[in-house]
Structure 1
Amino acid sequence: TDPVARRLSFAALGVLGPTSGLRAAGSVLFAVAAAAVSAEAVKKAAVARRGASTLRTGAVATAQDGARRTAAPQMTATTSTTVQTEADAAATKIWAEQWWPLGFAAHTSRAAPVAVTLLGAPLVVWWDDSAGAWRCTLDRCSHRLAPLSEGRVTSDGCIECPYHGWAFDGQGQCVRVPQQEEGSAPCRSRRAAVLALPIMEAQGVIWVWGGGLFESAAVTPPEESGPALVDVLERPGVEHSDYSRDLHMDWSTLCENVMDPAHLPFTHHKTISRRSKAAPISFGALENFSHTGFTAVRQTAGGPGRLTFRAPLLVLAETHRGPDSYSDWNVVYAVPTEPGRCRLLVRVVFEVSKLPIPLKWVLSFAFTKQPTWWTHLGTHQILEDDNPFLHAQGHAYRAGHATKLAPDWKRRLYMPTASDGMVVAFRRWLDAYSDGEGALWSRVAPTTETPLRRASKEEVLERYLSHVAHCSACSGALRNIRTTMRLAEGGVVLGLLLAALLRARPAALALAALSFGVARLCAVLDARMRVGRYPPPRNVS
């Protein structure tokens, strides 16, 4: 038996002694024994708490590595933490074993490496001109973890670390260590390699296979796997416009917003809609609800259509304007980058061949002739109509919770109309297939579970880092704008000097005035490339 229990029992017998002296001594002994028992109990409780804490930490780490559990399993000495439950396998299939879009190929620089983040993992993408292919590895040199994206692409298609010049090929193998001594071979060590991910280009999008970012997922994509392509892009007579941006909102907030057509007349009043167009919206019965997503027929004032969620990354909204009219599609890819952040890739698709004139001419020009950077300036404003309040809404949904996206949403959100039908379906999907936590973060993602920081309005409206820096069309245009501005400023000075020194003052002053106007226009465009405007058009009378 427990020795502490024995001490307590003997002390108790002393309390029952025949004389008052013995009973007093017994009481003292009982008190001392009780204190000893209490100390033992405290010590055991502390050990138990530490053990429970270790189990919780282990469970969090396992979830980060690709093993989400909808209910914590009973831990025993023989239970292995590497055994996958059905929920684990489903989560791996949804998040890890997936082709993820990183950017549009036409907007991604082929001259320099590009840093991207996927599911919390820092990646670097570059164009290997020697092989005519895109490459992708973890954005960390195996030497001392410097970001490879700060380096350069060599003539043989390798990426070179900016710190000490180590070079890696498209398979992640270290091919050069400038510091290696003659006769040594540090390159051949497995530790010298960096993680490389399968990468491909399809429908003008750069896709990577995410399996290598998780412990228990397939590193090589199965033959039957393929990216979430959209068949309508292959139709004749169809044109589209592409745009991407890093957003201060969770991928789930972006998906939910696209599934909510009722917000368009109010949020985007004066940009792409009007408040006067507000009307009831209905959805048909939910179809094919599973881990792969769901779909439903949609009826709006613009015409019938369909809304499809292809889990976990694609929301496709299609509208058919009539049997003898055109159709249009909104193709939205929502890519989780880190908690509370995502990358948006959107394609606005129109059946241009069936559009009435002059709308056919206008959209044909916009999709095929208009400069991409100019189109993106207009798209920025549309996104910024709702970016600030969607960021705030995401924080309100979380209510300070570190992992749950919208705890107790059924009680906290009041959604009585049919227009919220797909939002409710999406929330149900999150509960069913992610335990309400959304994206599964990679094994190299930070594991801290602290409440997310609320971004400032200036950060939410920022355009340069969130778009221009990784859009080759816009970054090239910005360089040209700044060059033109410097030349125009020189023209102002030259015109004023000529006006002072020569007799042809009207012509010189005209040059100065024209140059000043060009410089001012360039300054405005430069500012619009860097940050959005506030308040949005809907709030300006």
Structure 2
Amino acid sequence: EAEPAPSLAMPRITQWLAVLCACIAAASAFSPSLNSPLKPQFSSCRKSQCVPSSPGYPGRSLFARSTSKSPLRMSTMENVDGVVDEEVERMKKSSKFDFTKQWYPLAVPAFLDHKKPQAVQLLGRDLVIWRDTVEGKWHVFDDACPHRLAPLSEGRVEEDGTLLCAYHAWRFDTSGKCTSMPHAMAGTEQQLTSTPPSCAISYPSQERQGLLWVWGSPGAPGSDAALEAALKEPSVIPELDDPALEGRVRAYHWNIRDMPYGWDYFNENVLDPAHVAVSHHGLVGSRYDGQPVSYDQSRALTAEGGFALKIKFGSEEKIAEQQKTGLMPEMEFVPPARVTQRNTFKGGGQMILALYSAPTRPGWVRHIGCNIIIKGEDGKVPDGLAFFSISMPMWLSHITASLFLHMDMVFLHHQEKILAARGYKNEKGGKGDYNEIVHTPTEQDLGVTMFRKWLQYSCEGGVPWAPGSEEMPPRERNNDQLFDVYHTHTKNCKVCQTALKNFKRARFTLFAAAFAVAAFFKGVTALVGGGLLALSGLLLGKIINMFYHYPFQHAYND
């Protein structure tokens, strides 16, 4: 159901903003200790020693396979290099990862308008999501009517539970079968609608854990593709289905956003704990308090299973203390769509950040994420997390997500375009070795390197975009254009649409009341009363703007 009208009390709104910022900080608790005085210790490097691996590009990655012993190579890095090389050799001999035979989370049904078909994309294909009015289930078709390929997302959901193409009124049932062709001659309609070319192309789909999952290739009910999809589990969050955690585990609001950079750069970013305190300075730590990052591998890299790493921060003494308690942050990549960051506390409590991503089209990714808290075995929220378990309005968590997401958006958008210009693209059969172009001299990049090696050797270079997919869009030089919130979220979220309408009504009411007070009262009453009402309207305008646009610049983030 849609959220109720938002409160007009500004102190309460400010309070919720503070709560959300704290939740974001907690959700990113896999970042280094924020107040540590430790600084990373780098080996010295004379300019003459930093030899580029190819003209115009910086030095070779320490994770790339090499027989040379660069002066940059630290002893700990030699061990990491060996680990990655062993994983690569294993991947070369194993089966390849098939993007088209996987489940992807593409929507949060609670946020969708039940009456309107929703256009989405996956692997470069245009799809339409719609909910039938009879069984109340969601379905996914190619976003093209088989008649003359008009988009079904511009159609209607009818009361009989069919999807109607609003161009010539062809109707389709939940399996994709055409049920009505109103312009057919008398006596021919049944025969014409029963032929395969008259059917809409459907995709297997299912609802799990509050998300709508879509199979990566088409398959009508009963088809081989549908059977194959039914035999494979989507990469759901195991803790939410664990009966042993019943009553202890809770998932907070899902958040969804289309981001103007590729699926691979999203995963690269969330597999990089070292960037958090720097990119999200002031919200999660300080950019000036960096410290060494290293890892223990907790799950080996495989084509289907991905990998998992325990994260170690700081000095050897601090790491030894972490290992003694066993309470080390962990991040795992489960192909193709989930990165999970876990923090375990004494007593069995956990904080989990679930980060999903779907490759929608070249240069874009759909991100869906949520924060999960597991109470300890004593039934209590772990120390320090009680404040973060406070519920907040869903619309507020959605619009203030920009505070966090926009902090590294510009890096990822431009990084993708720069690497593409230098020969690296995320696509099946793509040429260019990521680790030959970038320069990764410290162990902090192990998660990124393992992901890129997985993409290179298990996926033949990247995502197999559908034939005819759009080209990756050009680099957007005007950063302000990247900070759009309305078209990447608000437009397609019924919760935020409802809140936005209520805020606009409230702002109009406040301005009207301010005018009335100024017109009908005199003296201090008119000045103070009208002024406070007008000021409240202006403050609401600031919140309204966050549904549309939220700019950010690191240069001014002091």
How many aligned positions are there? 439
Q: For 1:189 and 1:400, locate their aligned partners in 2 and report how far apart those are by CA, in whole Å.
A: 49
Aligned equivalents of 2:527, 2:128: Cα separation in 1 = 51
Of residues 98, 111, 117, the one that matches 1:107 is 111
Look up the equivalent residue of 1:482 and give its one-letter code.
K
Q: Does 1:375 align with 2:397?
A: yes
2:334 aligns with one of 307, 310, 330: 310
TM-score with structure 2 setting the length: 0.73
Measure the CA separation in 2 of the matches of 1:130 and 1:468. 28
**Conserved 8 A contact 1:121-1:213:** no
Question: Given that residues 166 and 176 in structure 1 are in contact (C-alpha distance below 8 angstroms), is that contact kept between their aligned partners in structure 2?
Answer: yes
Match of 2:443 in 1: 418
Q: After superposition, where does 1:262-273 map in structure 2 within 5 Å?
A: 262-273=274-285
Deviations 1:380-413 (A, max 9, x none): 1100000011111111222254845682322222
Partner of 1:453: 474
Q: CA deviation at 1:150?
A: 1.8
The answer on whether the counterparts of 1:137 and 1:170 sit within 8 Å (CA) in structure 2 is: no
Mark the CA change 1:509 to 1:165 in structure 2 (over 3 Å): closer, same or farther. Answer: farther
Letter in 2 for 1:525: I
1:193 aligns with 2:199: yes
- What is aligned with 1:238? 249
In the aligned structure 2, how far is the partner of 1:145 from the partner of 1:120? 17
Change (3 A) 1:517 1:203: same
Corresponding position of 1:331: 354
CA distance in 1 between counterparts of 2:289 and 2:126 reads 43
Counterpart for residue 454 of structure 2: 429
CA shift in 2, pair 1:310/1:354, >3 Å: same
In structure 2, relative to structure 1, the CA distance for the partners of 1:223 and 1:144 (3 Å cut) is closer
Q: 1:189 to 1:514 in 2, by over 3 A?
A: farther
Paired with 1:473 and 1:451, the residues of 2 have a C-alpha distance of 31
Q: Distance in 1 between matches of 2:481 and 2:151?
A: 24
Residue 180 of structure 1 is matched in structure 2 by 184
Residue 345 of structure 1: how far off its partner (Å): 0.9
Compared CA separation, residues 218 and 523, structure 1 to 2 (3 A): same
418-427 or 301-310, larger mean C-alpha shift: 301-310
Correspondence 1:485-496 to 2 at 5 A: 485-496=507-518
Shift of 1:466: 0.6
Tell me which residue corresponds to 1:295.
308
1:143 aligns with 147
Name the SS for the 1:480 alignment partner: helix
Q: Equivalent of 1:396, from 407, 410, 418?
A: 418
Contact 1:332 1:346 in 2 (8 A): yes
- Counterpart in 2 of 1:16? none
Tell me which amino acid in the other structure corresponds to 1:290: T
Identify which of structures 1 and 2 has the higher relative contact order when contacts are C-alpha pairs closer than 8 Å and 6+ apart.
2
1:447 Cα shift?
4.8
Q: How does 1:117-156 map to 2 (within 5 A)?
A: 117-156=121-160
- The whole-number CA distance in structure 2 between the counterparts of 1:337 and 1:222 is 19
Give yes or no for contact 2:424–2:434 (8 Å, CA) kept in 1. no
Aligned to 2:296: 284
Once the 2 structures are TM-superposed, how far is the Cα of residue 273 of structure 1 from its aligned partner? 2.5
CA distance in 2, matches of 1:196, 1:451: 26
- Alpha carbons 1:96, 1:213 under 8 Å: kept: no
CA distance in 2, matches of 1:390, 1:404: 14
> RMSD value over aligned CA atoms?
2.8
1:42 maps to none
The 8 Å contact of residues 495 and 510 in structure 1, kept in 2 or not, is answered as: no
Over residues 144-201 of structure 1, what are the superposed CA-to-partner deviations in whole Å (9 max), with x where a residue is unaligned? 2222212221112222222222222211122223333322314233222111111111
Residues 174 and 358 of structure 1, relative CA distance in 2, 3 Å threshold:
same
1:346 shift after superposition: 1.2
d(CA) in 2 for partners of 1:402, 1:260: 20
Higher deviation after alignment, 289-298 or 277-286: 277-286
* 5+ residue gaps, structure 2: 1-90, 315-321
Q: 8 Å contact 2:281–2:557 — kept in the other structure?
A: no
Q: Pick from 242, 261, 265 the counterpart of residue 273 of structure 2.
A: 261
Q: Would you say the 8 A contact 1:402–1:452 is kept in 2?
A: no
Alignment partner, residue 474 of structure 1: 496
- Contact 1:333–1:345 (CA<8 Å) still a contact in 2? yes
Q: SS in structure 2 opposite 1:249?
A: coil
SS in 2 for 1:297: strand
Identity of aligned residues (%): 27
Distance 1:490 1:341, change over 3 A: same
Query: 2:131 is matched by which residue type in structure 1?
Result: W
Corresponding residue number in structure 2 for 1:212: 218
Q: Which amino acid aligns with 1:310?
A: V
More helix by share: 1
Residue type matched to 1:474 in 2? C
Distance in 2 between residues matched to 1:514 and 1:138, nearest whole Å: 52
Residue 341 (str. 1) matches residue 364 (str. 2): yes
Instruction: Say which is worse superposed, 125-134 or 221-230, in terms of deviation.
Output: 221-230
Determine the C-alpha separation between the residues in 1 that align with 2:472 and 2:230: 40
TM-fit CA distance, 1:379 = 1.4
State the secondary structure of the residue aligned to 2:225.
coil
Other-structure match for 1:116: 120
TM-score of the two chains, using structure 1 as the length reference: 0.75
In structure 2, do the counterparts of structure 1 residues 116 and 484 end up closer, same or farther at CA, with 3 Å as the change threshold? same
Match of 2:549 among 490, 509, 531: 531
Larger Rg: 1
Residues 72-101 of structure 1, C-alpha deviation per residue, up to 9 Å, x if partnerless?
xxxxxxxxxxxxxx99x955x531111111
SS across alignment from 1:460: helix
User: Are the equivalent residues in 2 in contact too, given 1:491–1:512 (CA < 8 A)?
Assistant: yes
Structure 1 unaligned blocks of 5 or more: 1-85
Whichever residue aligns with residue 363 of structure 1, its letter is F
SS of residue paired to 2:450: helix
Counterparts in 2 of 1:351 and 1:137: CA distance versus 1, 3 Å: same
Deviations 1:304-345 (A, max 9, x none): 03221111211112122x434742112111100011111011
8 A contact 1:325–1:355 mirrored in 2: no
Change (3 A) 1:344 1:98: same
Q: Secondary structure at the match of 1:345?
A: strand
What corresponds to 2:35 in structure 1? Answer: none
How far, CA to CA, are the matches of 1:191 and 1:402 in structure 2?
Answer: 39
What is the CA distance between 1:527 and its match in structure 2? 1.2
What secondary structure, in the 3-state scheme, does the structure 1 residue paired with 2:330 have? strand
The question of whether the paired residues in 1 share the 8 Å contact of 2:133 and 2:157 is answered with no
